[in-house]
Structure 1
Amino acid sequence: MHVFEVKNAELIESITEQAKAAGVTDGAIISLIGAADSFTISTMPADDPSADIVTDYDQPAELHGTGEIVGGVVHVHATMAVAGDKGVAGHLHRAQVGHWFARAYVLPTTV
């Protein structure tokens, strides 16, 4: 298992770079935990599963999620806890980590 820690960086980019440096091209992100200063997440509209509703959030959030790395490409689904005891969930496109940190626990696999 690898633990990739992200500080003062964009989460997806940092995990991608750290996985490459560790020689992980395929793996399961079995746990993702931390906090972000801002993030972009998408969901699907109710009437079209082939489309994305992409939303940028310029607010801090606690985060947890899981995902995978396939062919060096990081894919994460996450829940972001924001002010007002609310959760925003979906496909995580971007998360800027600054004030706190995030850690991805990655188990290499073969595809």
Structure 2
Amino acid sequence: MKLLSVKPGEEVIETLTRRAAEEGIVNGAIVSLIGAVDECAISNMPATDASTDIVSEYRQPLELSGTGEIRDGKVHVHVVLGREGDAALAGHLHRARVETFFVHAYTLAMPEE
């Protein structure tokens, strides 16, 4: 298992992609993602069209947990985000910025065939 960390001042997807490449992870699982972000963009599908995304942006502190995969070097993450008022948001993570805390991704690499 490899820990990929995102520190203050970094963007989550970009950093995880770079760190996975540095660790030689081309294909693998993001078993657990935990931390907090200061802004993000997530998407969900409209009820009438599963082939499109509705992207929503949030600019506030959000607790984050999630899972995902790395396929051919590309990071794909789904998250649950907690915000003020004990409200939860969920969806596909397009981007997120860490400024105050951190995000840790615990990953398992797939063996090369």
Q: TM-score, normalised by structure 2?
A: 0.95
Counterpart of 2:27 in structure 1 is 26
How does 1:78-89 map onto structure 2 within 5 Å? 78-89=79-90
Q: Displacement of 1:47 after TM fit?
A: 1.0
CA RMSD, 1 decimal: 0.9
Instruction: Name the SS for the 1:13 alignment partner.
Output: helix
| Paired residues, number | 111
Q: Displacement of 1:51 after TM fit?
A: 1.1
Instruction: Name the SS for the 2:15 alignment partner.
Output: helix
Unaligned runs of 5+ in 2: none
Q: C-alpha offsets along residues 8-31 of structure 1, whole Å, 9 cap, x if unaligned?
A: 200111100000001000110000
- How many angstroms apart in 2 are the aligned matches of 1:98 and 1:20? 23
How does 1:1-111 map onto structure 2 within 5 Å? 1-8=1-8, 9-110=10-111
Q: Which residue identity does 2:6 align to in structure 1?
A: V
Q: Which runs of 4 or more aligned residues in structure 1 lie more than 6 Å from their structure 2 counterparts after TM superposition?
A: none
Q: Which residue identity does 2:5 align to in structure 1?
A: E
Instruction: Name the SS for the 2:25 alignment partner.
Output: coil
Unaligned runs of 5+ in 1: none
Q: C-alpha offsets along residues 33-67 of structure 1, whole Å, 9 cap, x if unaligned?
A: 00000000000011111110001111110000000
- How many angstroms apart in 1 are the aligned matches of 2:100 and 2:42? 20
Greater CA drift, 66-75 or 46-55: 46-55
Q: Percent of aligned pairs with the same residue?
A: 51
- How many angstroms apart in 1 are the aligned matches of 2:47 and 2:84? 25
Q: Which residue identity does 1:32 align to in structure 2?
A: L
